[in-house]
């Protein structure tokens, strides 16, 4: 039987466009950061600011004008089902970590991915305050500020550097207590995943629901740095589905990821 696998498209021009757009988004974020800006709640304790909206508007204008045939999926844009008929889709979070942004903390990123047939092929996350740019193209490795990165070689949960909610690991509901870990958190899941991709931290784990725009860009950056990003059952993510929500996120190097999945795969989570 002939090999029917189709190679991903060349992303060089799309990636250059993505990087230009994310730099402009970063400039907007810096203008609003620690300044006076409007903020409101979209419901269910989900904050948004005028900075989110300004970045979303700029990115949507720039990216869809340059690539009118591509679909669009963003946290701050009303969903258009036309994206489901597009092979290529921009997946955007104007500010992932809005709560940190509101507090004036530099724990947020702009996140942009280009997905092709449900998988990210070009991606970047950018922290405009620390000026850290994580980026990747499918099959070309991952970079942090232009330097190649890879996940850590940590293989054991005990004493690992974990990005997550300390209260989650301390819960009495676990059948077996978690071993000692160095635990910190960042408001942005995209940033947490990037920090794991760079090897600065060994793993991140959340059992909270996440959406395409939260994780698509960092998913590619993690995989291109040699790591794995899956849900709590060890299943990889598919993007641009009708429901763009996911159960949970577990990210680490391969050996540590396997041990984390063994710890959490039995958990039953509600549908997002």
Over the stretch 231-264, which tens digit does the pLDDT of each residue have?
999 999 999 999 999 999 999 999 999 999 999 9
3-class DSSP assignment, residue 121: strand
**Which of 148, 179, 202 is where one domain is finished?**
148
The model's pTM is 0.96
Average model confidence (pLDDT) across the chain: 96
Distance CA 104, CA 189 (A): 17
Q: For residue 9, what pLDDT is reported? A: 87
The answer on 169 and 259 residing in a single domain is yes
* Residue-level pLDDT at 1: 41
Residue 208: predicted pLDDT: 95
Tell me what percent of the residues of the chain surpass a pLDDT of 70: 98
Q: What is the mean pLDDT of residues 197-205?
A: 98
User: Quick check: 5 pLDDT over 90?
Assistant: no
132 and 204 in a single domain? The answer is no
pLDDT at 144 over 70: yes
What CATH number has the domain bearing residue 17?
3.30.540.10
Q: For residue 2, what pLDDT is reported? A: 44
Its domain, for residue 43, covers 12-148
Is 180 a member of any domain? yes
Residues 43 and 140 in one domain: yes
Classify 130 in phi/psi space as left (phi over 0), alpha (psi -120 to 50) or beta: alpha
Q: Are residues 172 and 96 in the same domain?
A: no
Contact 254, 225 (CB under 8 A): no
Say yes or no: 71 and 116 in one domain: yes
Q: At residue 92, does pLDDT exceed 60?
A: yes
Q: Which of 106, 122, 148 is the last residue of a domain?
A: 148
pLDDT at residue 3 in the model: 46
């Amino acid at each position: 039987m002939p090999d029917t696998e189709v190679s991903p498209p060349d992303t060089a021009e799309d990636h250059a466009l993505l990087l230009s757009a994310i730099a402009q988004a970063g400039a907007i974020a810096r203008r609003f950061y620690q300044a006076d800006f409007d903020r409101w709640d979209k419901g269910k304790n989900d904050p948004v600011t005028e900075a989110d909206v300004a970045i979303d508007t700029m990115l949507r204008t720039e990216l869809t004008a340059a690539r009118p045939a591509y679909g669009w999926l963003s946290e701050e844009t009303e969903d258009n089902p036309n994206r489901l008929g597009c092979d290529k889709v921009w997946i955007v979070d104007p500010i992932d970590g809005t709560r940190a942004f509101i507090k004036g903390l530099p724990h947020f990123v702009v996140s942009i991915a280009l997905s092709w047939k449900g998988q990210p092929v070009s991606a970047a996350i950018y922290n405009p305050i620390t000026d850290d740019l994580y980026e990747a193209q499918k099959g070309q490795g991952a970079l942090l500020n232009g330097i190649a990165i890879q996940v850590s070689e940590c293989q054991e949960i005990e004493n690992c550097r974990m990005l997550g909610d300390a209260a989650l690991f301390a819960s009495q509901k676990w059948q077996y207590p978690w071993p000692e870990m160095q635990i910190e958190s960042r408001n942005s899941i995209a940033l947490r995943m990037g920090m794991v991709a760079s090897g600065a931290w060994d793993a991140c784990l959340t059992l909270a629901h996440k959406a395409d725009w939260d994780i698509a860009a960092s998913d590619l950056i993690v995989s291109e740095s040699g790591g794995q990003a899956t849900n709590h059952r060890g299943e990889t993510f598919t993007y641009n589905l009708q429901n763009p929500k996911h159960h949970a996120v577990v990210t680490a190097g391969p050996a540590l990821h396997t041990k984390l999945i063994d710890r959490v795969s039995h958990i039953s989570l509600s549908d997002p």
